[in-house]
Structure 1
Amino acid sequence: MGGPHGGPFLLFHVLCFLLTVLEVGSQNSKACALWCPPNSSCVNGTACRCAPGFISFSGEIFTDPLESCDDINECGPPSPVDCGGSASCQNTEGGYYCTCSPGYEPVSGPAVFQNESENTCRDVDECQHRPRVCKGRSICINTEGSYTCQCPPGLEFNPEDPRHCTDVNECTSGKKPCHNSTHCLNSVGGYECRCRPGWKPIAGSPNGPNNTVCEDKDECSSGEHRCHNSTICVNTVGSYTCHCRQGWVPRPGFQDKQMITVCEEIFFPAWTAPPGIKSQRLSAFFERVQKMSRDFKPATAKKSMQDLVRSVDDLLKNSGDLESLGQSSKHVTATHLLSGLEKTLRTLAKAIPKGSFTYRSDDDTELSVVVQEQGKGNVTVGQSHARILLDWAVAAAAGESGPSVVGILSSQNMKKLLANASLKLDLEKLKETYESPVRGAKVTLLSAVSSVFLSNPNTEKLDSNVSFAFTLHEQPELKPRQELICAFWKNDGNGNGSWATSGCWKMGSGNGSITCQCSHLSSFAILMAHYDVEDPKLALITKVGLALSLVCLLLCILTFLLVRPIQGSRTTVHLHLCICLFVGSAIFLAGIENEGGEVGTRCRLVAVLLHYCFLAAFCWMSLEGVELYFLVVRVFQGQGLRKLWLCLIGYGVPLIIVGISAGAYSKGYGREKFCWLNFEGGFLWSFVGPVTFIVLGNAIIFVITVWKLTQKFSEINPDIKKLKKVRVLTITAIAQLFVLGCTWVFGLLLFDPESWVLSYIFSILNCLQGFFLFVLYCLLNKKVREEYRKWACMVAGNRYSEFATTTSASGSSHNQTQALRPSESGM
């Protein structure tokens, strides 16, 4: 076709084909048309006819070569074939047929038919012909032309498999099919309405259907209960409980108000006298308690509590030989009484009916008790002496199911046994407050002693704090280093006790009362405490000064005994004065502090010895004044008292004073913190009185001595320089102040312990009295100095002959003026 003649050749063939067609058409105008489409037949050379079941757009016969014959849908509009009921028309290519609808089948004849007249369709029962069409417990239900699967009553289709049925729990479905007095019991495919345990159907009502109605069954009245004979049956809604009888408590291991509760009768607690305390009054009290125990009946528990309070009042009011007990024994007795009262009253209170009562004895002792069921919220128990506020849940003991008890016993008479009891303070806190160590406190009871008891015996650490309000029967005037504190009586575990403050603090005061809070319970009271604050500097000065004085006094004693040139009546007085001061200072330094806080035999002995030694020292100081008077004022009228009289006065007078004091009031010796004279009853005047008399007498002698010395200095040398005279007189006067004990005037003027200036002056001067005596009697005495030189040379190995020759030559020039100089005469 790509040759030079390809194009003309193709055009020639096309023209030949067209001419042939035109020629054939013109020759066969009456022949069949060759272009009839499928599903049609030729009518003539220009028309075609659609086959049955087909039709063209122009109708059955068409002439347009471009038309086609399409299938006629006999089953569709506008004139669908009527196949009859329960049948459906099915269109086919060029035709149709009728068949029975699903769920139907022909009774007779073919399954395919052409019109309604041939229709014999009838419903098919799938549930009979197909028994497993529905699975599980579902039920097949035939319908017109079909079927359905349904669950029986009480069942529902499983969401995971709609053909399987599962049980419906009508009791939990929220439909509440049963009455609220019944209990719904679910079953497979259903439920029942049954009465709960402890209930029964009302009269005429069945037990099971959904119309069942129940009522409570009274097991107690019907006798169906199983309560122990030690309990009482109490009916409850749907059940019952077994309560202990009045005056009975659950046995160990059981709880009250249970179906298996077993109870036992309340007994008076065993309470005997404290061991080691010998007292007829105390023994009589516990015999009375034992009689109350034997006669006790739970029905008379309230009367027993009142009798017990009166018995304690009688014991404390008419204490008898209890007064003669030592302080430690009194505190042991008080601890035993307080703990025993708490235990006994707690037990007896459980036997009284619910409610509250208050008893006040003739001696103003009050007992208040509240008994009620356990619960929440606060409870207040009050009386005239004290009130307590606590959470009711604190009162119940762990595992206790019965009524709870809260009680408070307030006694004024208990103060007698707790007098002079020690107080354990928070010393670190007080040290921070006063910036000095606190040695202790002297306390005064300002309120009644109030003991609190609960059903709960474990009250050492409470879940919530307890508030107290104490009434003050005295309105104290607080001085420096004094304050009101909330204290409790603490058992030390050995039967003894003391006041303590840990776990208690003061909240406020006003209108004659003090409010406190505590995290535990015990016996409480309001105390006024006075602290003794120790000055560390003053204590150091005292110890160092006394130690130095002891060394100097020992040297003085050896000097007066060994140096013969100074022997005489005055030396005798010096010697015994130094001996008394040495012994007294040594005892003071070693035993003045009472470490235990209890006044025992050792402390009393130390106080007696100090009283005697210092009184003897002052008596010898008075003899110093007498000797000085004879030496200066009556120099030409005698040599003073004889040695026998000196010893009788110096040692006999203080012995008489101490003997009378000890015989009149032996308890005046010893204090809680120091082994010295007690301040009570003016007993201190047995020392202060004689000292004041001696100091005043020596002060008069001192004034006379200085006046006479002034005259003698003027008579001996009228031309002596005024400045030198003043210097000599000043040295002499100062020396005699220490010899005559006039420095104790500062102690007599020390009325206020807060006056630190006088305290320091008094301590320094008197602690160094031995040092001053050594300087005056030994170092300023020329004869003593010569003996010291002699002893020093003997120790060094030098010959004494040369030394003695020199000293004898110098000694011949002594005159009366030198003899009167304090530095040489020893005055």
Structure 2
Amino acid sequence: MELKWALLLLGLFLQSSESRQCGVGFKIKNKICVDEDECSTSNQCGDHAQCVNTPGSYYCTCNEGFRSATANFTAENGQCEDINECVEKTRECTGDMVCVNTIGSYKCICRKGYRPSRTDSGCDDVDECLSSVCGVHSSCTNTPGSFFCICSPGFHRHENNTCTDINECSDPDFCGTNANCFNHPGGYSCKCKQGYSNYGNNQSKCIEMSCDHFELESGTEDTPLKNLLRLLTSSCESLLDPNGGRQTGEQLLENVFTFSDELLSDGNIADGKMLSQFLDAVENSMRLIGPQLREPVTRMETHNTFAEVAVTRNQTPPSGCVTLSTDSALFNTSWETVVGDSYPGFAFAALVSYKGLNSSSDLLQKMRNEKSDDKERNITYQLNSEVVTAVVSNTETKQLSEPVKLVFRHVEERAESEGVAYSCVYWNETEGAWSEEGCVRAESNSTHTVCSCSHLSSFAVLMALYPVQDSFDLVLITRVGLALSLVCLFISILTFKFCRSIQGTRTSIHLHLSICLFIADLVFLCGISSTHNEVACAIVAGLLHFFFLSAFCWMLLEGVQLYRMVVLVFHTTLKHLHMYLVGYGVPLAIVIISAIAFPKGYGTKRHCWLSLDRYFIWSFFAPVCIIVVLNSFVFIITVWKLAEKFSSLNPDLSKLRNIRGFTVTAVAQLCVLGGMWVLAFLFQREGTQVALYLFTILNSLQGALIFIMHCLLSKPVRDEYCKLISRICSLTEKKYSEFSTNQSSNSQQPLRSSQTTGESKI
């Protein structure tokens, strides 16, 4: 035993001596010192770390996702702790994902309310509303990543997150005092008392209703108006009877417009009483129909009527602006004006325009007679817009708190001038006439008029036509110019008739042109103001119509003759029969047709000329425009052909210069006469003083201008005038010389008495 312990001690001693021969971290192997791998010993660095051997030593490193908890991390003095990537933002998740930390790492998961997408690495929203998450009497609305619940109308959310019914009938203001309130799950209904109605809107207050104003006088025969009132009475009574069947608002509106079209198409509205009944019936029908319409805005158009109706239903009164429009007018007001002082739970505004409603001349004359100064000044009125009816649910509209605005489109585009003035009027049912009271014209131009009215009714734009007084200078210019033209035309007629050197087709055309203008100017000078006798005035207007048209037809013939002279041969002629058929036959046919179509179109209250009614003036302007266009076309071709002939190799210069001179005078003549009537048309449309003066000057001096162009500027005519003047002068000198010779010879002889007669001889 002792020997055993002695050997053991000896071995340890020997081993210790060997180790003292190698450094720390090394050991003797095969009698040499080699590095000792400390990392071979398990758990050398602890958890979440790795051991790295070095020559004679080792060191420890933390795994990915971990870090040393101390500065000098070794197996003896430190350990590795987890890194929270989600807190330190070293790793981030995109889209609808959130970051979740794990031991040594992290992961991205979808947020609450989302799920992993099947198509990509993102997340899709979870529609929680697919499952019954909100319970009964509520509706679910899905939102990104979540949802929310809303109780159905008539329910409110309870503390336990359930929806319970609201008892609206606990508030007496819901149905008012004129109805009984009945509560039911999710709502309520108001049952009107006798004589009251809520127009089929069971959740609106009931208002007093009477059907008496739809009744027509007893004994009246069946008319479209009576049928309309009968329909409205039946519809009104059905609203008062809760068990009675009734039409929808849209059906009733269509039926009302059907009867209105029948009234307007057949011309049954002939007097003020009928017009008042019709407009009143339409206004009351809109009060009946408006609350029954289902859509917020309803538009309906028929042959003669156009309507737009706006309706709102809510527990609180509406506010803001409301604008309605038809094809001819616009109506602008506020919902506060529409509602008024009381709000039954609904409000409506309607605008109705009538396409076929034209106020008769008797009704317009009544307005004129009410103003003595207008009657003395011979002012006439006519409607220049379609009649419209504006209706709102507010029954107190005789004096509105704020004015409403109406914009009308003119039927006839005409700017205001000294002869035209616009005014905003409404139909006064009491007086049966149009009145300006309460309506002010805000602004106006040639196409539209803006009206501001402090009450509601049926409105229109009235155009006052003031007679333009002929000033002294215009009358003087006309009379002096026409007298000069008559003298010049008379000389021209004599020249064209008896001057042999210029005889030909063109001279014949100029002769008849001068004759037509001479007669027209003479009739114009003597009879244009003969308005006191309707028959005589119509005859004067007919003669002017015929002879002025005839003058233009002869000008057309001159253009045709010039064209034939250029294109055919220089000495070509037109047959006189053909010229008479065009120069006199065509104007005569136009006048006869015009007189048969509208006999009253000849003669106006101011002048014996063509009337503006029914566009009768176009029986003159239309042929004139056609002739001017045709003549212009012919002259363009003529000038073109002339240019070609001048540029030819062997032009006949003398003949071509003659034709060129003829063409220049013909074009100038067309510009003078055609331009004169263009100015007349402009004055008719615009009423400008410049156009009036230019027209007066050209019209009065057209005879003088023709004399200058065709006589004084023509060399052959000037030569004939010179010959004539020479002959007259030579005859005068000869007579004077003969008279002087006889006087001297007779003075030397004594006087002798005649024995037969007893008279003295010289």
TM-score by length of 2: 0.42
**TM-score normalised to structure 1 length:** 0.39
Larger Rg, first or second structure (1 or 2): 1
